[in-house]
Structure 1
């Protein structure tokens, strides 16, 4: 197995301290003020509400090139931009839970009871939604049309909702009786829903009006379908993991990678799909640490490279072939999120509640070299990279929840929005 994970057209491994080579639905109106105004002013109120929803969506349209620093004083704000976010209905302080950018300038950041938007790369932020929803995931297909997983309480189940006005209001989407933990919509109507622990996959071709369950291997604990035919699964097996691939919509699955592990927890699949895939496998956890490994294939699983082997004192050995301690280190802590904007760039975020510090591992050449560094204060975070070097980070922190941006592939980060500490 050691040879299999090292094969492929990769150069020999190198090491330095920080761099190692290697259907008709009733719209759910979520704005009480708008409802009151509509009742009070009749048709005028309805017209005003309609125009308001159009304005909110239009406000997030991409701005012309050169407007990223547009501000009255020529400088972009790094505070709360005058948007006062308050505790939610449960008394929990405002914090970020999701972020998505459709381009280097246009995106959204959301949390418990709010969604914010920017159309000038974070120079100016504005509120899109305020209410009872806590957003677990945003998946906008266009700047106006999107799907979200959101609940009315941080601990409650997430509902599948749809918006056609940029996120100011939502309508429920049938989920076929499934409780989705993650969604992935490729078009306005075609998408996937994945159940808890990525153990099951469902597909819709008509915006959720009907869902079809896709066959998956037993003991699946990590799953992604890149197309209706092409899917990858991380499965538990005696002594470790089996990573499997299907090219016929789940009717048959072929093992493409075996990785030993003392603890079987699960994993995650990222990448462009097809022949280029990244697989993250989790080991044990302890002392605010998680052991994990990151594998990459660029030939559909015929050969693999183990890019990261991050053993920890609290979590024990990393999954996969034994690697000398410290030879293939990843970002410290527990993996929090990963982004793969193209076939060469990959970013892995890790955090630790004990350290309240987020670290980022990154490669710009498909894993040939890998560099780890600090990202931002915080213990949890979400990544979005609309381009290879242009990315965003939404941070959950006890003292400084914020949104950061990078223009150099994660080498440096700048704050664009901050929620004041209580």
Structure 2
């Protein structure tokens, strides 16, 4: 049963009344801040103060999600901010300092789920909001702190630990463990029944597919790899899938490959193969030097829009400059673009092939950037204040 956060000794978590533009009854086009929509756009902290932060880490942006070109949120350790005018102005939604947001998934402008630490260094807790993120209710997950969540609607969702997948059909009141293949390291469901998994097998990775909600899994792709460091799966269509597979890391370099299928796994194409001196060979066949090169660094996030556009951001602490690449033709070609922004980690949210947002973790100043040309150029729209 859903319990309020006060049952976790978090009564102080409750924030002020729902803010304009992000409440249960807020219209989608309402203003994001008291500023006039015609006022000049800002790039500073938009009034956010981090004095309430309780942990000892530097302020960071850890999650970003846009529901449309105008309405979106970004969150980090102790705060959540929102905009309803495409990043021109931002307002504080949550700033109690008690939640460190690892992931958020809003289904509407009012209702959403988040994974957050309720205390510094603690496992993630699953929470639900019905007022746009101003307050939260605890969703019990048993003895399984999730590393990642995926909700298809308000009642049907999945929770993922490092090796296991759990499903709820009643909004989190109960969870059932799904039968995934041994040594599964990543699962992504396109629908309630159609899903994909990255599995560690002898000598490499196997990408498997299910058509019945996880009851049965079939082999789809094998990629040889000397190092099995995991991977990620992206896509919005059950037949159009992108798979990222990691090789080894060393000297602030990571080897990786990106595969794509447009026909539900009948055929796969290796779109990116990036071996490195420090990380060794990339998973899969050895590609001719320079032919399938992706962004430098360790990929930190990918975004897929429909069946045409895919975007990849990668970073490295050695260079503190995020690298960016994309395909705008469903994987037929791949282009690496100039560095996106100063930083070593980034999270993406694209709403179209042209418009996207990037939450950046940086040694200097974490910030949110926006692109209106598919990542060719990025403009800062928000900067975190320096922690007192």
Q: Same fold, TM exceeding 0.5?
A: yes
CA contact (8 A) 1:345 1:366 kept: yes
Describe the SS at the equivalent of 2:58.
coil
- Is the 2:110–2:131 Cα contact (8 Å) retained in structure 1? yes
The answer on whether the counterparts of 1:162 and 1:173 sit within 8 Å (CA) in structure 2 is yes
Per the alignment, residue 213 of structure 2 pairs with 249
Q: Deviations over 1:351-371 (max 9, x none)?
A: 000100101110111111211
CA distance in 1, matches of 2:45, 2:11: 22
Secondary structure, counterpart of 1:53 in structure 2 = coil
Contact map agreement 1:112 1:154 (CA 8 A) in 2: no
**Alignment-derived partner of residue 18 in structure 1:** none
Q: In the aligned structure 1, how far is the partner of 2:89 from the partner of 2:148?
A: 29
Aligned-partner Cα distance in 1 for 2:188–2:76: 25
RMSD: 2.3
Contact 1:267 1:280 in 2 (8 A): yes
Give the structure with higher Rg (CA).
Answer: 1
Q: Which residue of 2 aligns with 1:128?
A: 93
Cα pair 1:87 1:94 within 8 Å, conserved: no
Paired position in structure 1 for 2:118: 152
Residue 76 to residue 253, structure 1, CA distance change in 2 (3 Å): same
What 5-or-longer segments of structure 1 have no aligned partner? 1-22, 36-48
Residue 395 of structure 1 aligns to a residue whose secondary structure is strand
Residue pair 2:304, 2:310 contacting (<8 A) in 1 also: yes
Which consecutive unaligned segments of at least 5 residues does structure 2 have?
none
SS in 1 for 2:170: coil
From 147, 162, 176, the counterpart of 1:181: 147
Task: Determine which of 167, 178, 183 is the counterpart of 1:219.
Answer: 183
Q: CA deviation at 1:82?
A: 2.1
1:411 aligns with 2:376: yes
Answer yes or no: is the 8 Å Cα contact 2:152–2:192 preserved in 1: no
| Cα distance between partner residues in 2 of 1:380 and 1:349 | 8
**Does the residue aligned with 1:252 lie in a helix, a strand or coil?**
coil
| Aligned pairs for 1:203-282 within 5 A | 203-282=167-246
**Structure 1 position 152, deviation (Å):** 2.5
1:341 is the counterpart of 2:305: yes
Kindly indicate which of the two structures has a greater share of residues assigned to helix.
1
When residues 222 and 71 of structure 1 are mapped into structure 2, their CA distance, relative to the original with a 3 A threshold, is same
Please say if residues 62 and 77 of structure 2, whose CA atoms lie closer than 8 Å, have aligned partners that are also in contact.
yes
CA contact (8 A) 1:86 1:93 kept: no
Deviates more, 1:106-115 or 1:242-251: 242-251
Deviations 1:2-52 (A, max 9, x none): xxxxxxxxxxxxxxxxxxxxx4533549674979xxxxxxxxxxxxx6xx2
Q: Per the alignment, in what secondary structure is the counterpart of residue 373 of structure 2?
A: coil
1:143 aligns with 2:121: no
What TM-score does the superposition give when structure 2 sets the normalisation length?
0.92
SS of the counterpart of 1:180? coil
Report the CA distance shift for 1:53/1:295 in structure 2 as closer, same or farther (over 3 A): same
* CA distance in structure 2 between the aligned counterparts of 1:222 and 1:33, rounded to whole angstroms: 32
DSSP-derived class of the 1:326 partner = coil
Determine if contact 1:60/1:106 at 8 Å carries over to the other structure. Answer: no
Q: What are the within-5 Å matches in structure 2 for residues 47-66 of structure 1?
A: 52-53=17-18, 55=20, 57-58=22-23, 61-63=27-29
Q: Where do 4+ consecutive residues of structure 1 move more than 6 Å?
A: none
Task: Give the 3 Å change call, closer, same or farther, for CA 248–376 of structure 1 in structure 2.
Answer: same
* Aligned position for 1:20: none
Separation in 2, partners of 1:276, 1:34:
41
Q: Distance in 2 between matches of 1:61 and 1:317?
A: 51
Contact 2:30 2:84 in 1 (8 A): no
Q: Distance in 1 between matches of 2:319 and 2:27?
A: 38
Structure 1 equivalent of residue 267 of structure 2: 303
- 1:154–1:56 Cα change, 3 Å: farther
Taking structure 1 as the reference length, the TM-score comes to 0.85
Q: Is the 8 A contact 1:270 1:279 kept in 2?
A: yes
